[in-house]
């Protein structure tokens, strides 16, 4: 009996391993109040430093920090901490704006810091329904157990910022 695997056997073994782990999700991990949150990287357009001044928009909800000019495009900026029920705190040098594109809508979210981009498999994700949190569960896709033991709260951006409602309003007004 030959202990080495043939190329075909190695491919079959890899396919079974992938099948057991489930689909992979490439995730941007960022911090808010020392907690790890994750966002599907396919929606991330870029990550920029927080500018010294964000133009406030009158009569907007508290979680809308204002707008920035990003190379000629006006981009609304949301404060993630306020939106998910945390207290707003002073921004540090590590704070960033994650610029996201959702159905051709461009917006930024302020985060305390960007930690990494990692791969998360479906088998690592637990349902959000089992979480004990004050944050509305409709904003969560689940919680991922990272290989290093950390827990990463996976956010549902469309629900968090009512993107579908914004799209409906644009269609109605357009």
CA atoms within 13 A on the CB side of 168: 5
Encode pLDDT of 82-96 as tens digits: 887 788 888 899 999
Give the span between the Cα atoms of 36 and 124, in whole angstroms.
15
Segments of the chain scoring below 70 in pLDDT: 1-5, 10-20, 128-137, 163-174
pTM above 0.85, yes or no: no
Contact 136, 148 (CB under 8 A): no
User: Phi then psi for 14, rounded to 5 degrees?
Assistant: -65, -40
Contact 99, 108 (CB under 8 A): yes
pLDDT of residue 1: 46
The CATH number that domain 24-173 falls under is 2.40.50.180
pLDDT of residue 170: 43
Give the span between the Cα atoms of 27 and 141, in whole angstroms.
12
């Amino acid at each position: 009996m030959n202990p080495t695997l043939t190329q075909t056997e190695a491919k079959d073994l890899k396919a079974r391993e992938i099948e057991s782990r489930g689909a992979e999700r490439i995730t941007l991990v960022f911090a808010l109040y020392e907690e790890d949150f994750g966002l599907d990287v396919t929606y991330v357009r870029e990550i920029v430093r927080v500018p010294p001044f964000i133009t406030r928009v009158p009569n907007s909800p508290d979680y809308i920090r204002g707008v920035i000019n990003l190379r000629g495009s006006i981009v609304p900026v949301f404060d993630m901490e306020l939106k998910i029920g945390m207290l707003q705190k002073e921004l540090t040098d590590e704070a960033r704006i994650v610029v996201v594109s959702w159905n051709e809508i461009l917006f930024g979210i302020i985060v305390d810091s960007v930690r990494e981009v990692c791969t998360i498999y479906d088998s690592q994700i637990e349902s959000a329904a089992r979480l004990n949190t004050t944050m509305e569960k409709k904003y969560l896709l689940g919680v991922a157990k990272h290989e290093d033991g950390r827990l990463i709260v996976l956010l549902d951006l469309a629900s968090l910022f009512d993107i579908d409602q914004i799209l409906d309003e644009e269609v109605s007004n357009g």
